Each structure stands twice: as C-alpha cells, then as structure tokens.
Amino acid sequence: MGPVDPRLLRYASAARGFLVLGALLGLVQTAAVVGVAWSATQAVVAVVDGRAADDLGAALVGLAVAVVVRSAASWALEAVAVRTSAVVKSQLRRRVLRAVAGRGADRVARHGSARLATLVGPGLDALDAWFARYLPQLLLTALATPLVVVVMWRSDWLSAVIVVVTLPLIPVFMVLIGLSTRAAQDRQWDRLQSLASSFLDAVGGLSTLKAFGREGRQVARIGRLTDEHRVETMRVLRVSFLSGFALELAASLSVALVAVSIGVRLIDGSLLLPVGLFVLLLAPEAYLPLRQVGAAFHAASDGVAAADGVFAVLDDDAASDDGRPGAGGPRRGAVPSAPTASVAGAPASVAAGPASVAADDVLVVDRVAVSRDGVPVLAPISFRAPVGEVTALVGPSGAGKTTVLAAVRGAVASSGRVAWRDAGRAPVLGDVAWSGQAPGLVAGTVAENVALGDVVDAGAVGAALGLAGAPELDPGTSLGASGSGLSGGQAQRVALARALYRAERRGARLLLVDEPSSALDPVTEAALVAGLREVAARGVAVVVVTHRAAVRDAADRVVVVEPASSGVTDVTGAASVAAASAPGGVR
C-alpha cells in the first residue's frame, strides 16, 4: 500500500472525511508552529534589547496562546485519527465478512480460513498505528514542511535554500531503509499466517493426531514456526531502530548546517538577531514531519501489510461480482430474483415480493456448472426438483454433489440457470433451508442450536427434532464448544433439525440436505427419511445428497452426478426407474 492507497478511500468512506479534517487541523497546527517561533523570538529579543515589560508580556502571552493552539490542534488530529481508525476497521471488517459470507466456502477455500481470520483480527487492528501516527504525520509533511520553508524563504532565503537542498536526504534514507524494512515485514507477515494456519490445522485434526500418536510432531512444528516468527519480528525491530537513528542523524546534521550559516552571518553583522533566531527556531520544524513519518511508517508496517491483504480479498470479490447472484451480479443465465422487502415478523418467503413460490412450483436447475481457477469441478447438470417431492443426488465421492447444493443456494460462482419455474426467479434467502455435512454446532443448549438465529419455540424445536429422527434428545441439554457432548449421529440430526426449524418458521420452499444419515444406524435412518418425506409433503422441495441406499430408495427422483470429465446423468421418477435423460437435458 502506498502513502494513501486509493482502495482505502474506495472501501472505507470514513478515510475520505479524515483527510479533509486532518488537512484543516494540519494547517492550524502549522500556523501555531510559526506563531510559537515568532513569539519566542520576540520575547528573547525584548530581553536582549531591554525593552519594557509590556513588550515582553505581550510576547509571552502570544507564545502561550500559540503553544496552547498547537497542543490542541495536535491532540485533535490524533483524536480524530484514532476515531477514524476504529470506523475504518469496522467498515473494512464488514466488507470482508460480507464478501466471504456472500461467496461461502468457495471464497474461504481460495484465501484460507486462517489467513482471513488473521486479516480481519490482529491484521486490521494494526491499522491503529497507521491512522494514529503515520497518516497524521504524512498530512503534516505535505502541509507543514512546504509552508515552513516558504516562511523561512521570506525571512532568510539562504537558510531556506539550505533546507531545500538537505531535505531530500531524509526521503532518500527512508526509501533505502524502507526497502529493507518491507522485505523483513513481508517475511514476518508470512510467518504469522503460516503459524495461524498450522495452529488451526492442528486443532482441527487433534483427535486424528491423538488416535495415531502424532500430536508430538505438531507441537514441535508449531514451536519451529513460532521461533521463525519471533526471529522475523526482531529483524523488523532492528531495522526500525537503525532507520530511526539514520533519520535523526540526517535531520540533525541538516539543522546544524542552517545553524552554522546563521551564526556566521550574525557575527559578521549581515543578519539581524530577530531574523536569525526566528529562522533557527523554524528550521527543525521543517525536518520534523519527515523524521516522524519515517519513524511512524515502521510502527504502521503491520497495518500496511494487513490492509494490502484485505484489499486483495475485496478486489477479488469485486472482480467476480458478475458470477453469482447475491454478491453484486446475477448468475449468468439466471432469472433475476424479485426485489425483497423487510417485513418484520413475516416469513422470508413472504418478504421476497409478489413472485412467491407456490405449493406446486418446481425448482429448475438448467446446465449449472462450476469451475475453480479454470478447472471444471462440476460438469453441466440439469434436473428438476418439484415442491412436495424428495430429490436425491447420488454418485461417486468427489463427483460434485455437494457443489451442486452450493451452486443452487448461491454459495459458489456458477454458470447456468437456477430458478423457480412458475415464480420466474432464482431462489432467495427466504426460500432456502440448508444442512451441510459439518454440523456447525455451538456452545449452548440443544434448543438454542436448533433455533440458531431465531426465537426459541419449544414446541417447534421438539417437532423439528422429531422429524430429524432425534425425538430422544432433550432440548435443554447443554453442549460444549463445537457441540461437544453429542455423538456424531446426534450432532448430524441436530443440524438437520435446525434446517427443518428454519423451513417451518420462515416458510422455506427448498430444503437442501447433505449426507444427513452417514453416521446413523438403519432404524434411526428410517425415522429420519420418514421425517424428510413428511416435510416434503408439507410443500417443500427436498434435495438430499446421499450415499445411502435407504435414502435413495425413498426419493421420488434420483439424479446421478458423474465426475466433471464424465458429464451427468439425470434420472427422473421413482428410484427404481433406470431410464436416463441426455446430458444437459431438463426433465
């Protein structure tokens, strides 16, 4: 990121206001700096010349006023910077989270969950130093330094020339040292992201590592990554200290040149004391903003690196907006969804507008395909899922069955068309209830997990658990982190009950379920299948991914998904029918 990255102004509107207000405060502070130098000069000259006490008193009052104004302007600039930093971080976090949520698992897989968590967490927190220290000094450099030089020129052109000639030395040192700092900072940021990713992987696979007795190796690996991050952090600090010394040395030598020139001319009488003293007091102020910019840049380098990562995620989201509905552009070939309106207390399907989904509507999936980085992961697939029926997606592992569900609910960018036949639009958020392979449970009661994001209705929670084949679960049972306290099969059924609860409470017409019975015994699976058929009979199109014969046999329609290199076969009607449609056809 440059001094002020244009993307910052585009993605965080608060930054634009800060630049305007910061410039005004910078002008006030610069005027106060000149006032301090002028008042101090007048006070010293009054003492040297033996003037009256009134003249000295006026100079001291002016000095006090200038000091107060300068301090107040400096405090206001810092306070505005800190406040703006908090607002900008909030705006960027919301944008990143909205981009990730809009793209779903596809975006998380592309950028990495640990990297994204590092960006929106400690990464953006590092912007505090960039806003509170670096950016204010950058504004003062752009405003104060030129104005101070102009004032010096009007008083003593020779001193102004010395300042103009020596000023570029500081940016040259900053550039040379900044290149080294940037490389060290990039290495530090890479180590931090590697450490976060490794720790997340180790925690996620801890049970497997324990089962195979490999947990000790992960401890050593994380320790090694921690040491690498520590080493890179110390290298950044070492370069920062060295750069601060170099900048201070350059500025001190430059001010010394001005002082020597003024002293020589004061001795030979070619320069008056008031002018020489005034210029000498202003000279350090011409170099001060540049020196502080160099020092603040190193303190803000973490924030700069994180902001670059955030902007890369947002740029990626903007570049792919035309690939998926709900993220800025419609799916190619899809029927645009009806405008939505927020109706308090009403089901989301009702709030979707006049094009509501009827009880006899049909979800049409027409030649939907998905590619990642130009590689097809889902061949064009076409099928129909009528409301009131259960449609099963079957096929070998890795064929793309889960990807079909993600494309239907708009979680991945896809081509083709997904729309309700009669409503004439793509499914909207209120139409869809979804249960994935990972239960995604949280600490709390079973009832709170079932009603996650909605009001807990004890009767509806019990009914949803019954339909999910888990009537024996007590809704009041407390769960630990990630739903600990339940078996794998119980966690699956609680996740399915959550989707059923949503479908009932919000009037969803489409239920998407991914492998709901993979960890169930035949008796429990039969109860779950019966629940899915009952939900379908209530006016819901149920699309379920499964490898289990019991679920397939109970489905009204079966769609066989083949790997991307083999195409897709669409089988309609009862599960026992073996006839297949041509690839790409819609039945």
Give the pair of three-digit tokens for residue 5.
């990255």
Instruction: Tell me the C-alpha distance between 557 and 550, whole Å.
Output: 13
Buried b (16+ CB within 10 A) or exposed e, 409-419: bbbbbbbbbbb
Give the other-Cβ count within 10 Å of 7's Cβ. 18
Q: Are 556 and 389 in contact (CB under 8 A)?
A: yes
Token pair 């064009």: residue: 380
Of 470, 538, 477, 528, residue with least CA distance to 504: 538
Could you give the 3-state DSSP secondary structure of residue 557? strand
Instruction: Tell me the C-alpha distance between 283 and 260, whole Å.
Output: 12
- Measured CA distances, 463 to 248, 450, 476, 504, 505 (Å): 73, 11, 14, 10, 12
| DSSP H helical ranges for 269-300 | 273-299
Instruction: Walk me through the domains of the chain, giving residue ranges and CATH numbers.
Output: 6-319 (1.20.1560.10), 348-571 (3.40.50.300)
Q: Are 290 and 139 in contact (CB under 8 A)?
A: no
Q: Are 296 and 133 in contact (CB under 8 A)?
A: yes
Give the pair of three-digit tokens for residue 90.
């909030």
Q: Are 439 and 494 in contact (CB under 8 A)?
A: yes
Q: Are 150 and 34 in contact (CB under 8 A)?
A: no
Q: What are phi and psi of 548, to 5 degrees?
A: -90, 135
What pLDDT is recorded for position 103?
60
What pLDDT is recorded for position 106?
59
Long-range Cβ contact pairs of 204-213 (< 8 A, separation 24 or more):
none
- pLDDT one digit per residue (tens) for the chain, 587 residues: 455 667 777 777 777 788 888 889 888 988 998 999 898 888 888 888 777 777 788 888 988 999 999 999 889 888 888 888 888 888 888 888 777 776 656 566 666 666 677 777 777 777 777 777 777 878 888 888 889 889 989 888 888 898 888 888 777 766 666 666 666 666 666 777 677 777 767 776 776 777 777 767 777 777 777 787 777 777 777 776 776 677 777 778 888 888 888 888 888 888 888 888 888 888 888 888 877 776 666 666 666 667 777 777 777 766 655 444 333 333 433 333 333 322 223 333 333 333 588 878 899 999 988 887 778 888 888 999 999 999 999 988 888 888 898 888 887 878 888 999 888 888 887 888 888 888 888 888 888 889 887 888 888 898 999 888 888 888 888 888 777 788 888 888 898 899 999 888 888 889 999 888 877 888 888 888 899 999 999 889 999 998 888 888 889 999 998 886 654 444 443 333 322 333 333 33
Give the pair of three-digit tokens for residue 202.
């180790």
Q: Look up the pTM and report it.
A: 0.53
Of 45, 4, 340, 304, residue with least CA distance to 141: 4
What pLDDT is recorded for position 87?
86
